[in-house]
Amino acid sequence: MKFSFDKVINRREVPALKHHPIVLGRDGENLFPAGVADMDFEAPPVVLEAIKKRLKHGVFGYETVPEGLLPSLIQWLHKRHNWQVEESTILRSPNILNTLAMSANIFTKKGDGIIVQPPVFFDFFDIIKENNRTLVTNPLILDNGRYRMDLDDLSQKAAEPRTKMLYLCNPHNPVGRVWSRAELKALGDICTKHDVLVVSDEIHGDITLPDHQYTPYASLGKKYAHNTITCLSPAKSFNLAANCSAFIVIDDEMKRKRFQAENSRLTVNKNNAFANVAMEAAWRDGESWLNEVLNYLVGNIDLVKQYLEHVPNVKLIEPEGTYLLWLDFRELDMMPEELTAFLRNKAGWAPSRGLAFGLEGAGFARMNIACPRKRLEEAMRALVVAVQVSEN
């Protein structure tokens, strides 16, 4: 391997969210911080060099978008995911959550329904509530240890006259599904039939594990591309969440003009010099680093599986993408509050509570494994001991 991911970095030297009392609590300093979805790895060396070079210039006045930024994104999408995107269809956004909220306000009215597929990223719920839209749930089905979409239920929910939008998580956070072309087309056919706009959060698209292929929803064909807003960002892929922005691909010209007008009205079109050079360097020259990260994650998943062999009543939902593992603790027969207390006080874990992802997450927890293997092994060893002691 050209890069090493075993280095333990003290992230408390900066105000890292995953180590902050906001997340861990005042007494959580020694917990395994497995809740926040970022990596404990340094950004790619090419990114660090690009930032150093920009810093050396020393002048940080107003800037336009670098000429190479959008071409680097376009080339990345084509080479990595076989998706040809025209530069004219791309808009900027501060972040993906901002895009979801703006989409709701531009293309729906107060009280309109927005579909989500729980268990799903918890911020989806907050955005819908805070923007006075109606939450419509289309729960995923857990079938023999693998999640699938309930297309019959989706068809019924999409047919409701007040249902106007669907938030798609592709790949899915937290269950780790990388949706197949067939699944996405089935969803797209339902949404197109009932004029339900698909807003697709594809921030985890690059984090796809071996034998699985991420399919950008808008790449399925014109019919699907015209009825979607695709949200992209290098935040997860290259660990740039605090130093990047998001990009929106809108194929339909009228929808794009409406979004562009709202972008202008809210003046969310400023540039950050360091984010610009970081993103361009990552997409242009960061592929080998990302490939090695994916290999390292596979090793971490194997490690988790080895330890779970000692606690058969804790099950891993086999991941297909993301660096977030969805663990099933239901056989421990604990209420959600009990499970949180057990993981925290007995195993020393601070994962994301399953219930935060919807009622369907009760009895589960989401664990971030994008960390040095030594730290993960310590956490898994502690979990095994805690479960075994609780059974005796």
CB contact burial 229-244 (16+ within 10 A = b; e otherwise): bbbbbbbbbbbbbebb
pLDDT band with cut points at 50, 70 and 90 for residue 26 = confident
Task: Give whole-number Cα distances, 317 to 141, 184, 232, 288, in Å.
Answer: 13, 21, 25, 28
Q: Where are the domains of the chain?
A: 11-44+287-391, 60-285
**What pTM value is reported for the model?**
0.96
Q: What is the CATH number of domain 60-285?
A: 3.40.640.10
Paired residues of 199 in beta bridges: 167, 229
Residues 40-66 have pLDDT tens digits of 999 999 999 999 999 999 999 999 999
- Peptide bond preceding 336 in cis form (omega within 30 of 0): no
- The torsion angles phi and psi of 86, rounded to 5 degrees, stand at -85, 140
Residues 170-187 have pLDDT tens digits of 999 999 999 999 999 999
The mean pLDDT of 139-147, rounded to a whole number, is 97
Q: Tell me which residue of 142, 136, 127 sits closest to 326, measured CA to CA.
A: 142
Residues 67-125 have pLDDT tens digits of 999 999 999 999 999 999 999 999 999 999 999 999 999 999 999 999 999 999 999 99
Can you tell me the distance from the alpha carbon of 64 to that of 351, in angstroms, rounded to the nearest whole number? 40
pLDDT at site 320: 98
- The torsion angles phi and psi of 190, rounded to 5 degrees, stand at -65, -45
Percent helix, strand and coil across the chain, each to the nearest 5: 45, 15, 40
Query: 3-state class of 270 per DSSP?
Result: coil
Paired residues of 373 in beta bridges: none
* Residue tagged 């086999």 (tokens): 318
Measured in residues, the chain has a length of: 392
Residues 274-300 have pLDDT tens digits of 999 999 999 999 999 999 999 999 999
- Worst-scoring range by mean pLDDT, 15-29, 162-176, 232-246, 349-363? 15-29
Beta strands in 38-128 (DSSP E): 90-93, 113-116
CATH class of 11-44+287-391: alpha beta
Strands 246-249 and 324-328: unpaired
Strands 163-169 and 197-201: parallel
Q: Is the pLDDT of residue 270 over 80?
A: no
